[in-house]
Structure formats: structure tokens, C-alpha cells
């Protein structure tokens, strides 16, 4: 004989009733199939709303009093009809306008002309190239040594060079070409100035006596006598000779230059003028850069930047 079951506990009964009641929360979506609520024809309950649909839903729930107040305020400010569009239309217009601006910016970037050296950069390159050639610390006037020194100066001071131009072969080649051309022009200018300093100053405008007059052929022979085209090559050889003889002693090198200058003045010029002992700041800066250990490798015959020797 089975014993009768105990009466149900009141707490268990209440819990069972609570579980049978409908929940105020939205039921969980567990299936993509059409449920009874859709009748098999509507969309599944577990399909989430898209952001656009959510935005429309939120905008549709805007307080009607606030909407009416905004309309009255826009009328008071005399806005045009297209400025009174509903929020959804305004957002669409902003999106389209953003795409339009993006297209305009793309056209501007594409239409940007290729980079060219500015007037300021050209002036700075010529100024420092002259200082490099005039530096007593320079070991050669031709070849890669002066060019590499100037490249080191450009990397240090930048001037108005674009950031990362060294990694743009096309634009960096323009800088190389400008430096090579600047040194070629300055060496030609210095050579002409030296040649002009060796001529007799034309104080007397009267023609020479007949016995001293020469025909054009004889005059040409005199002008080209003992001349050759390797002027700067000869100067570089003289520099090498002075450096080897001095053994790197700065005092001996300085005395050698004073001796050459005194000899040239005695043969071709006068010694009645004073040289300003105040050193130009740019020249002093270049001298220090050449002398710095950071450009020891730069002041070698190795062509760091590539390019042709001029």
C-alpha cells in the first residue's frame, strides 16, 4: 500500500505559477523558422533590425512637441523650404555632400603638379656650395667630395625640402642635378675670376707702339701658351701634394697656403690690401661640418649619392 503524497509546498506552487505567467520581457529568439506569431508568412522573429531601420525608428519617436517647436523656430528664422527637411532627409544630404567633397579632394590631389626646387632652396644650395668650395678644410674641389659635403648639409638643415624626399628617386634626382649644376657654375666663376686677376689692369687706353703690336695669330698663341683644360684637376693635385708633404699637420698646411698666396701676389698682383679676418657665419658653419667626425665618410671619394662625377 502506497503512502499518500505529501501536500505541495506553498513556495513550490508559487514558483510554478510564476513560471506559467507571460514574461514582460521579449522572448528569446531561438529559431530562424517562422513561428506561430508570424503565421509562417512574416519575417522570422530572430532577424535583427538594420542600423538604418533603428535610426528611422528612433527619429520617428521624436517628441512631437519638440518637432513643432523646431518648425516654429525655423519659420521665425525665415529658413528656405529645403532647410526644413525632416531629419532623415538631412542625414541623406549630409552623406551625399560628404561623398561629393571626397571626390573634389581626390581631384585636387591628382592635379597637384610635380615637385620642383623652390627659389629659397636654390639660393641656399648656391650659398652653401660656394662656402664648401671656399673652405680651407676641403680636400678636393672636383669629384664627389664637395657634393657629398653639401648633401650632408642639406640633410642636417633640410631648408624647405619635403619630408622623405630622399625616398622619392624622381624628386631626389632633381636635388642631385641642382647640386651638380651649382658646383659646375661656381667653379667656372672662380676660374674666370682667377684668370681675370692675372691680367694687367688696363689703365692706359692708348695703343701699344708699332713694334710691340701683334697680329691676331701671335696674340692667340700668347694667350693659349701653357694653358690646358684641367685647371681644377691641377688644383686638386696641388692640394694632395700639400697634404702629403704636411703629413696632416694643420699648421704646416696653413703656412703652405700663405706661401702660395704670397708668391702669387708677387707675380700677378699687389699686396696693398687687407683681408677681413671676420669669418662669415655660414663659412664657419661649413668648415665645422667638414671637420666633424660625422662627415668623415662623406669627405671621401666614394659617391654616396650616386650620380656622375662632374
How do residues 28-66 score in pLDDT, each as one tens digit? 555 444 444 444 455 555 555 565 555 445 555 556 777
Q: Cβ distance 137 to 298 under 8 Å? A: no
Biggest CA–CA distance in the chain, Å, is 167
177 lies in the same domain as 80: no
Q: Cβ distance 198 to 191 under 8 Å? A: no
Q: Residue 125 burial by CB count (10 A; 0-12/13-18/19+): exposed, middle or buried?
A: buried
- The Cβ of residue 166 has, within 10 Å, a number of other Cβ atoms equal to 15
108 lies in the same domain as 241: no
- Has residue 192 got a pLDDT over 80? yes
pLDDT band, very low/low/confident/very high, at 294 (cuts 50, 70, 90): very low
Taken in order 39, 45, 49, 54, the sign of the CA dihedral is positive
Q: Residue 235 burial by CB count (10 A; 0-12/13-18/19+): exposed, middle or buried?
A: middle
99 lies in the same domain as 136: no
* Prediction pTM value: 0.49
How do residues 83-124 score in pLDDT, each as one tens digit? 777 778 888 888 999 999 998 888 876 666 888 999 999 999
182 lies in the same domain as 105: no
125 lies in the same domain as 98: no
236 lies in the same domain as 266: yes
151 lies in the same domain as 240: yes
pLDDT of residue 254: 77
How do residues 217-236 score in pLDDT, each as one tens digit? 565 555 555 555 577 788 77
SS3 assignment, position 27 = coil
How do residues 122-147 score in pLDDT, each as one tens digit? 999 999 999 998 888 888 888 888 99
The answer to whether position 257 is within a domain reads yes
Domain boundary among 83, 112, 141: 112
| Domains contained in the chain, number | 2
Angle at the Cα of 232 (from 125 to 137), degrees rounded to 5? 60
- Has residue 78 got a pLDDT over 70? yes
154: its cell numbers: 642639406
296: its cell numbers: 668623415
Residue 145 gets which letter from DSSP?
A: H
Find the domain containing 102 and state its range: 68-112
The answer to whether position 37 is within a domain reads no
Q: Cβ distance 64 to 36 under 8 Å? A: no
Amino acid at each position: 500500500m502506497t503512502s499518500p503524497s505529501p501536500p505541495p509546498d506553498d513556495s513550490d506552487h508559487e514558483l510554478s505559477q510564476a513560471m506559467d505567467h507571460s514574461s514582460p520581457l521579449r522572448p528569446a529568439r531561438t529559431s530562424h523558422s517562422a513561428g506561430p506569431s508570424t503565421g509562417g508568412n512574416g519575417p522570422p522573429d530572430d532577424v535583427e533590425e538594420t542600423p538604418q531601420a533603428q535610426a528611422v525608428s528612433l527619429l520617428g519617436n521624436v517628441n512631437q512637441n519638440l518637432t513643432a517647436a523646431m518648425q516654429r523656430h525655423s519659420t521665425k528664422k525665415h529658413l528656405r523650404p529645403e532647410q526644413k527637411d525632416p531629419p532623415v532627409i538631412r542625414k541623406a544630404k549630409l552623406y551625399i555632400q560628404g561623398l561629393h567633397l571626397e571626390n573634389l579632394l581626390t581631384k585636387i590631389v591628382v592635379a597637384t603638379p610635380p615637385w620642383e626646387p623652390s627659389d629659397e632652396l636654390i639660393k641656399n644650395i648656391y650659398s652653401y656650395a660656394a662656402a664648401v668650395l671656399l673652405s680651407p678644410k676641403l680636400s678636393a674641389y672636383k669629384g664627389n667630395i664637395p657634393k657629398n659635403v653639401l648633401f650632408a648639409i642639406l640633410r642636417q638643415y633640410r631648408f624647405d625640402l619635403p619630408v622623405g624626399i630622399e625616398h622619392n628617386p624622381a624628386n631626389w634626382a632633381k636635388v642631385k642635378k641642382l647640386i651638380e649644376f651649382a658646383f659646375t657654375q661656381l667653379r667656372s666663376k672662380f676660374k674666370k675670376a682667377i684668370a681675370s686677376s692675372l691680367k694687367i689692369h688696363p689703365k692706359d687706353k692708348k695703343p701699344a707702339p708699332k713694334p710691340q703690336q701683334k697680329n691676331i695669330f701671335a696674340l692667340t698663341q700668347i694667350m693659349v701658351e701653357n694653358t690646358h683644360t684641367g685647371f681644377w684637376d691641377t688644383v686638386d693635385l696641388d692640394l694632395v701634394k700639400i697634404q702629403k708633404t704636411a703629413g696632416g699637420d694643420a699648421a704646416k698646411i696653413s703656412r703652405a697656403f700663405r706661401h702660395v698666396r704670397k708668391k702669387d701676389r708677387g707675380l700677378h698682383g699687389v699686396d696693398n690690401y687687407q683681408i677681413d679676418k671676420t669669418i662669415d657665419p655660414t663659412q664657419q658653419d661649413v668648415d665645422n661640418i667638414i671637420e666633424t667626425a660625422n662627415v668623415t665618410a662623406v669627405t671621401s671619394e666614394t659617391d654616396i649619392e650616386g650620380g656622375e662625377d662632374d
